[in-house]
Amino acid sequence: MGLEINQLTHHEGSGSSRIASENGRLSFRQKLRFAGFVLILFVAVPILLGRSPYYITVLTNAAILSFISLGVWITFSIGRMNLAQGAFALVGGYAVAILATRYGVSFWLCLPLSGLISAALGALIGWPVLRLKGVYFAMTTLSLTEAIRLLALNGGDITKGATGIVNIPRPGAIGLFGLTIVPEFNGADPLPFYFLACALLVLGLVAVWRLSTSRLGWVFRSLRQNEDLATSIGINVAKYRVIAFGACCFMGGIGGAFFAAFHQNIYPATYTISDSVNFMLYCFLGGLSYIFGPVVGAFLLVIAFELLHAVQDYQALIYGILMIVCMLWLPNGILSLGTRHDGKGKYGGR
């Protein structure tokens, strides 16, 4: 299709637009930047920080938090502010916990399954809830985060209530024809988890980029910009809203499953409303019109707060202030600093 590709790098404020044949193709510079990002993740970081489990753990967290936030970014692309992602991460976490501890299902099967379970639940809940817009949708999804937490807390023998599910087995080895492709994950070294997190993040970025630059992405954008008009030209608005929300929940579920295996436990309080808000904040901070937005936001905040141990007690306060600052002065996010400012928030007024 020929539409403008602005997601991976910048959005041209006005005027230029590329046409059809270039759809979904990256410029050389974009490819180079992405390759650089991948190299840093997979080569530079392990070489420089591989001996420090602490830093590797921090970066692992940042990578998966980015991955989960990418899901929230998808719901932003249909014009919905989603505060339920914590709920779906919790669902994914419990899915892997229950499947692995009770039924002995391998982590490698649990991971996609927990994504699918979250997506199915998301589609079911999303169908009616996605009719709501603006602040009503945000509030409903906010309470959904709380509702799922309470559900986990009162889940009886299935979720084991407040004690949570502990001793979730780590991912096992993957072998093919007697060859070990992925060795068993052990407790001492977080590096395998780090590599898995980075692999998920890169896959997630490619998948979301593909979604966003395909016709589906343009249909999503049309929903954000005017649902009535989209309906009038025959777009089944309800269907595409659910597809977007389902994709978001899928990523939330996968991320939740990863953390459950990483920490080997899951509790009802593992994801609360503040986590849901943070996922959204990462998107805002990085920039809603950039696929890399949530990644930039998540890495920046996660790393910053690990480095600033002293202020961690004030995390909620600082995040709150940051959100206000961001909306007032940087409505298009940090990544928009690299672009000509056109004076208007791309998502302004919603």
Partner 1 sequence: MAILDIQGITKRFGGLTAVNNVSFSVEKGAILSVIGPNGAGKSTLFKLISSFLPPTSGRVNYNGHTITGLAPHEVARRGVVRTFQETTIFKEMTALQNVIVAHQLRCRATSLGIYFSSAAARADEERFHNNATEILDYLGLSTVKHMLARNLPHGHLRALGIAVAMAAEPKVLLLDEPFSGMNIEETDAAVKLVQGIRDRGVTIVLVEHDMSAVMRISDKIVVLNFGTKIAEGTPTEVKRDEAVIGAYLGEADEEVGH
The answer to whether residue 346 forms part of the interface with partner 1 (CB under 8 A) is yes
Binding mask 271-310 for partner 1 (x = CB under 8 A): ----------------------------------------
Contacts of 235 (CB under 8 A, 6+ apart): 219, 222, 223
Contacts of 34 (CB under 8 A, 6+ apart): 8, 26, 205
The answer to whether residue 2 forms part of the interface with partner 1 (CB under 8 A) is yes
One residue of 132, 216, 322, 323 binding partner 1 per CB under 8 A = 216
Among 8, 4, 30, CA closest to 17: 4
Angle at 166 (CA atoms; ends 146, 306), nearest 5 degrees = 70
| Terminal-residue alpha carbon distance, the chain | 27
Cβ nearer to partner 1, comparing 2 with 128: 2
**Least distance in Å: CB of 350 to partner 1?**
11
Check residue 335 and report its DSSP letter: G
Cβ nearer to partner 1, comparing 76 with 267: 76
Q: d(Cα 25, Cα 321) in Å, to the nearest integer? A: 38
| Touching partner 1, residues 217-276 (CB under 8 A) | 218-219, 221-222, 225-226, 228-229, 231-237, 243
Among 343, 350, 340, CA closest to 6: 340
One residue of 31, 133, 210, 340 binding partner 1 per CB under 8 A = 210
The answer to whether residue 157 forms part of the interface with partner 1 (CB under 8 A) is no
Query: In whole angstroms, how far apart are CA 151 and each of 137, 266, 341?
Result: 20, 14, 45
Binding mask 12-41 for partner 1 (x = CB under 8 A): --xxxx-xx--xx-----------------
The answer to whether residue 211 forms part of the interface with partner 1 (CB under 8 A) is yes
Q: d(Cα 275, Cα 257) in Å, to the nearest integer? A: 15
The answer to whether residue 208 forms part of the interface with partner 1 (CB under 8 A) is no
The answer to whether residue 4 forms part of the interface with partner 1 (CB under 8 A) is yes
Piece in contact with partner 1 (CB under 8 A), picked from 37-45, 157-165, 179-187, 212-220: 212-220
Residue 13 CB: number of other CB atoms within 10 A?
A: 16
Strands 174-176 and 165-166, by their bridges, are: unpaired
| Total of chain residues touching partner 1, rule CB under 8 A | 34
Cβ nearer to partner 1, comparing 94 with 245: 245
**Least distance in Å: CB of 303 to partner 1?**
32
Cβ nearer to partner 1, comparing 19 with 173: 19
The answer to whether residue 174 forms part of the interface with partner 1 (CB under 8 A) is no
**Least distance in Å: CB of 222 to partner 1?**
5
Angle at 208 (CA atoms; ends 207, 211), nearest 5 degrees = 90
The answer to whether the CB of 169 falls within 8 A of the CB of 107 is yes
Residues binding partner 1 (CB under 8 A): 1-4, 14-17, 19-20, 23-24, 210-211, 214-216, 218-219, 221-222, 225-226, 228-229, 231-237, 243, 346
